[in-house]
Amino acid sequence: MEVASHGFDTLRPIWEFSEGLPAADFGWRSDMLVRGFRSQVNTELDYRNGELSTAETWTWQDPTNNTLRLQLRGGRHLAAEFSVPRLLDDSAVNLRLGTSDEATEVLEYVGSLAGALIPGSTAPTLQKLSRVDYACDLYAESGGPGVIAAGGQFQFPGTRKLNKQLYPYEGAIIRTPQQTMRTYSKGLELIHKLTPGQRKEHAPIIQLALEKGLTRMEHMSRPRKPMSLEYLRGGSQMFADKLQQGFPGGRVYIGGLHKLRAQIDALPVSAQRRTSLIAFATRYATLGHEGMQVAYSRPTFYRQRKQFLEYGLCLDDVTQFCGEVDFNPVIKYLRAA
């Protein structure tokens, strides 16, 4: 398993204008609409005094690169969300992740753009980061399904509220209210996400990603309290820490289809039923979630899945990969970066 790249992906920074903007001025509002901003007024209840208040939000979506969105609240606070690689390369493929310096460069660009775009303002002051995504792309080769299955066993120590979504061969999402770890096949993501024209344009890249088992592991941090800008300086170390905490000992053993077959063989059911379950599990391990929904009608697919739950079997963990996934070399590489 080889590290193909690592760096920052999505960021959500927060700026503040030194002086409030003339949000009530008719001319200013008209100019905002001309420049592509849209206004929305929300009514909120202040639970401390029981009074209702209104808050206006202006939103803007980049018409040339839909990765960039701006949101102005209260005439002073500005938030943005964007993918660092997509702003750097203007490409929907999103394979080159951003370094700390590149992330800082993009933040400065977006701040200057907002200052020029919003009438009556100068460049705002960057305050905090409310979301940071750091990712690592791995050339997992034939071990890609095993890395994805291992991603499904990622742990957030000390967390009680944990939501898991596991799709054999395709991806695994482990989510808490403040953090998310995603592990997925980058080649399959491109096939599902890109338009037919984009798939044709980037066919060699997609094919290489599938052949090399390109697998992305991505950690999203979205804490209740926004993060300091210093967070951008230690991205690789932070990610290495997360992998070490999430995979105690750095190694995960994946029992794969062999383990599930043994569990099915031990069920007190007829031989015909066991054969049916094994056949379904084998196709699931090969085709993945998306492929199975194409091969089966929706009612049949979910009826079959329900049978595994009734027998106490975890179908989502199944994969053709069987063996140990060792993340220690990846952790060591990230610490040295």
Structure tokens at 21: 């903007």
Higher per-residue confidence, 116 vs 18: 116
Nearest Cα neighbor of 284 from 295, 269, 270, 298 is 295
Question: Distance between CA 270 and CA 216 in Å, rounded?
Answer: 41
- Per residue in 192-209, pLDDT (tens digit) is 888 899 899 999 999 999
Question: Distance between CA 263 and CA 255 in Å, rounded?
Answer: 11
Question: Distance between CA 279 and CA 302 in Å, rounded?
Answer: 15
Kindly state whether residues 249 and 267 are assigned to the same domain. Answer: no
Q: Are 78 and 59 in contact (CB under 8 A)?
A: no
* pLDDT tier for residue 46 given thresholds of 50, 70 and 90: low
- Mean pLDDT, the chain, as a whole number? 87
Kindly state whether residues 293 and 177 are assigned to the same domain. Answer: no
| Mean pLDDT, rounded, for 90-108 | 88
Assess if residue 328 is contained within a domain.
Answer: no
Kindly state whether residues 239 and 277 are assigned to the same domain. Answer: no
Assess if residue 337 is contained within a domain.
Answer: no
Q: How far lies 133's CA from each of 281, 300, 301, 316, in Å?
A: 33, 37, 34, 25
Q: Which of 237, 253, 269 is the endpoint of a domain?
A: 253
Kindly state whether residues 113 and 157 are assigned to the same domain. Answer: yes
Is the pLDDT at 247 greater than 70, yes or no?
yes
Q: How many domains does the chain have?
A: 2
Of the listed ranges 44-53, 137-146, 267-276, 312-321, the least confidently predicted one is 44-53
Assess if residue 329 is contained within a domain.
Answer: no
- The residue segments making up the domain with residue 310 are 256-321
Kindly state whether residues 122 and 221 are assigned to the same domain. Answer: yes
- Per residue in 166-175, pLDDT (tens digit) is 887 888 999 9
| Mean pLDDT, rounded, for 176-180 | 92
Kindly state whether residues 115 and 74 are assigned to the same domain. Answer: yes
| Mean pLDDT, rounded, for 60-82 | 89
pTM of the model: 0.81
What residues contact 41, with CB distance under 8 A and at least 6 apart? Answer: 54, 55, 56, 57
Higher per-residue confidence, 317 vs 177: 177
* pLDDT tier for residue 154 given thresholds of 50, 70 and 90: very high
* Strand ranges in 186-238 using DSSP code E only, listed in sequence order: 214-221
Kindly state whether residues 209 and 88 are assigned to the same domain. Answer: yes
Q: Are 106 and 98 in contact (CB under 8 A)?
A: yes
* Strand ranges in 187-245 using DSSP code E only, listed in sequence order: 214-221
Kindly state whether residues 148 and 290 are assigned to the same domain. Answer: no
Assess if residue 57 is contained within a domain.
Answer: yes
Kindly state whether residues 266 and 208 are assigned to the same domain. Answer: no
Question: Distance between CA 11 and CA 28 in Å, rounded?
Answer: 29
Assess if residue 154 is contained within a domain.
Answer: yes
Kindly state whether residues 126 and 190 are assigned to the same domain. Answer: yes
Structure tokens at 251: 């190694």
* pLDDT tier for residue 288 given thresholds of 50, 70 and 90: confident
Share of the chain above pLDDT 90, in %: 42
Kindly state whether residues 14 and 133 are assigned to the same domain. Answer: yes
Is the pLDDT at 214 greater than 90, yes or no?
yes
Residue with tokens 């009438």: 119
* pLDDT tier for residue 47 given thresholds of 50, 70 and 90: low
Assess if residue 164 is contained within a domain.
Answer: yes
Assess if residue 330 is contained within a domain.
Answer: no
Kindly state whether residues 198 and 314 are assigned to the same domain. Answer: no
* pLDDT tier for residue 84 given thresholds of 50, 70 and 90: very high
Is the pLDDT at 254 greater than 90, yes or no?
no
SS3 62: coil
Is the pLDDT at 40 greater than 70, yes or no?
yes
Assess if residue 285 is contained within a domain.
Answer: yes
Question: Distance between CA 1 and CA 329 in Å, rounded?
Answer: 8
* Total Cβ atoms within 10 A of residue 120: 15
